[in-house]
Structure 1
Amino acid sequence: MTVFFCVGSEKSGTTLLARMLDQHPEVACLWESYAFRPGSRASIFNPDSEKWRRHGFSESDVRRWSRIWNAQPQAFFRRTLNRLTDNSLFTTSCFRQTMPPALADFARRCNASVAGDKWPGHIRYLDTLLSVFPDVRIIYNVRDPRALWNSAQRFKDRRRGDELLNLMLENDERIRPHLERPNFLTVRYEDLVCETEETVRRMYEFLGCDFSTRYLRYDPQGDPYPDRWNWVPEARGRIDPSHAFKWKETVDPADIARITTTASSFMDHHGYGR
């Protein structure tokens, strides 16, 4: 089984990217497992979460996986060991015992030979992903910083533009040393929505899958677990290329100039014009 993870930053378009991958009949993609936050209400490893039900996991498996994570040493001892060893042995051990069987189970139920997880937060655990899955494929989703800022600023009027822009730049520094490896693929949101066919073809080839234009259309009738997506409007609707450039109409010129200066290295590296 080929394993992949979709990583990036919030508001960079990872949900749409994951949906396009999952539409391939050989691919099964979890929607944000929150695997490294097993206590979160969004984690598939939390029995109190609805997330595992949306993916069809059995309660007995989830409770067993939860016990593995909850058996970690107390936080003080865990932090002390982390400082001494420069890594989280317990986190890696728990992930190794829970994520491979979860992906294998999901792939089996979806009749897929390729399985993965879309969660931007995985970008903070690259060493663990590479340790547990040595042959893993990593798809890194990036977006024009001005567009990401605009989306984060306007989403539910939360005004998180600067926060998520800075987080995106931190994440990019974290992953950039890995990007020349053959098992890492960078996908720009703008290419996904404006040159969908060619971009999706490239992603499928990266995962060792064939391509057909019929895989570009989402059909909930053929989705064994449509509840993963049905509450996320962007995951079910048609692809609208205009979303890539809305920022040009709504972002103040002063903010555009400031963002461009702040993110200049990112923009140069990923081919975004000034």
Structure 2
Amino acid sequence: MTRPAPPAPVFVVGHPRSGTTLLASMLGRHPDFVATPESLFLCQVRYQLGAARAKGPGAVTAAAMRGPLQYMIADGDAFTARLRAAAGDGPVDERTLFAALLEDYRAAHGATRVVEKTPLHLRHMDELSAWFPDCRIVWIVRDGRACIRSLQKVAWASSDAPRLARQWVRNMALGAALAPAAGPRLMTVRYEALIADPGTELARLCAHLGVEPAPGMAETARGTTVIKPTETSWKGKVTTPVDASRAEAWRHELSPEDLARVGPIMNDTLARLGYPTDPVRPTLETWRGRAATLPPVVRAQRWLFDRHRRVFGPRIGRHAGSGQKAS
């Protein structure tokens, strides 16, 4: 049996609505890369496919093509054969399945390397690094207030600003805690810098990925392979020209009431990341936000998140595009 191993895969991660789709689309326009739709694999799909994985490759393919992975598998028979070559007719482990998905997509598109973008894989950078030692991980960071306003516009997320603020703080803390496990594989990109000067940021990123920059990576009119048909309502702007003014749009789009409520929660983390903040009087929410960044709390949150997904995985996230709720 031959274990599938996509060469030096690239994983784009970040808090939901941080610009992961934009960045993955840009990378996917490089001639060496193809960018997949969101797999939701580590944060959702591997749990949903647990029963099928125990039955073998054929059952895995049948179940996968009824869910979010249907957009990654072009030929079910060929994918089953790839899985069988890696796992035989027995159970398929998580790593083998994910690697086979990435390798199948890469080979089907004739690319040298594959880019996979699932925002909440931010919470699994240690697993990505262990499963794919030659991978590269790109963490795109955006001002949390902009993330909140963007999430308030989509149907699958909460509109409650304090709740969204706490989610952002937790994910930033967990990303920081897992960054050492990724080590030199990890590079951080600022959304604000990317849309202000795409050429410079993409050149810096390409150096990290070991490729030469290519013309046209920031040309949105060239389209993208990242967006599923079910996602066009909230990702369609990725195919329109990059607008640097969007970096500060939250200042006039987020209500004064919401700004006042999220400041005590987010300010410490915003300041740590270098974003400007307005002075606020500390409240109970301030201490809750600080507590969420303590290492023991971060580890507990990761354990609880994974435990919930393992127990309830087959019954959650049924909508193919809704797996990014940053609980």
In which range does the TM-score fall when normalised by the shorter chain? 0.7 to 0.9
Alignment-mate amino acid for residue 103 of structure 1: L
Letter aligned with residue 163 of structure 1: R
Amino acid in the other structure paired with 1:15:
T
How far residue 23 of structure 1 moved from its aligned partner, in angstroms, is 1.0
Q: Cα deviations across residues 218-244 of structure 1 (Å, max 9, x unaligned)?
A: 4548x6x57647823122111111211
CA distance in 1: counterparts of 2:194 and 2:247, whole angstroms: 9
1:16 Cα shift?
A: 0.8
Structure-1 residue corresponding to 2:31:
25
Q: CA RMSD in A?
A: 3.0
Task: Report how far residue 205 of structure 1 moved.
Answer: 1.6
Q: What's the CA shift string for 1:133-191, capped at 9, x where partnerless?
A: 12221111111111111112233495143333322211111121344632111111111
CA spacing shift, 1:195–1:215, aligned 2, 3 Å: same
Shift of 1:62: 5.3
- For 1:14-53, list aligned pairs within 5 A: 14-36=20-42, 37-38=44-45, 39=48, 46-49=64-67, 51-52=69-70
Matched, 1:199 2:180: no
Distance 1:242 1:138, change over 3 A: same
Pairwise CA distance, 1:50 = 6.1
Structure 2 letter corresponding to 1:201? A
Q: How far 1:110 moved relative to its partner?
A: 2.3
Q: Distance in 2 between matches of 1:189 and 1:227?
A: 19
Cα distance change of structure 1 residues 160 and 27 upon mapping to structure 2, 3 Å threshold: farther
In structure 1, the residue matched to 2:210 is: 208
1:261 aligns with 2:292: no
Asked if structure 2 preserves the Cα contact closer than 8 Å seen for 1:142 and 1:189, the reply is: yes
Aligned with 1:209: secondary structure? coil
Query: 3-state DSSP class of the match of 2:64?
Result: coil
Distance 1:47 1:62 in 2: 11
Could you list the per-position Cα deviations for residues 246-272 of structure 1 after superposition, in whole angstroms to 9, with x for gaps in the alignment?
111122334324423322232123221
What SS does the corresponding residue of 2:154 show, helix, strand or coil? helix
**Number of positions where the alignment pairs a residue of Structure 1 with one of Structure 2:** 246
Q: 1:249 aligns with which of 242, 249, 252?
A: 252
Percent identity over the alignment?
24
Contact 1:197 1:213 in 2 (8 A): no
1:187 matched to 2:189? The reply is yes
Q: 1:113 and 1:219 mapped to 2: Cα distance?
A: 23
Structure 2 counterpart of 1:167? 167
Aligned to 1:117: 116
Consecutive unaligned residues in structure 1, runs of 5 or more:
73-92
What code does the residue aligned with 2:136 have?
Answer: R
1:166 aligned partner, one-letter code: R
Distance 1:59 1:210 in 2: 34
Moved more, 242-251 or 156-165: 156-165
> Does 2:3 correspond to 1:3?
no
Q: List runs of 5+ in structure 2 lacking aligned partners.
A: 1-6, 50-59, 278-327
Distance 1:227 1:179, change over 3 A: closer
Q: Which amino acid aligns with 2:151?
A: A
**Counterparts of 2:137 and 2:250 in 1: how far apart (Å)?**
28
Task: Report SS of the residue matched to 1:138.
Answer: strand
Rate the CA distance shift 1:269–1:227 in 2: closer, same or farther, 3 A. closer
Structure 1 match to 2:299: none
Q: What is the aligned partner in structure 1 of residue 77 from structure 2?
A: 60
8 Å Cα contact 1:136-1:183 kept in structure 2: yes
Separation in 2, partners of 1:25, 1:48: 30
Distance 2:166 2:11 in 1: 22
Moved more, 111-120 or 161-170: 161-170
Deviations 1:16-43 (A, max 9, x none): 1111111111112212102132338xx9
Cα pair distance change 1:191/1:21, threshold 3 Å: same
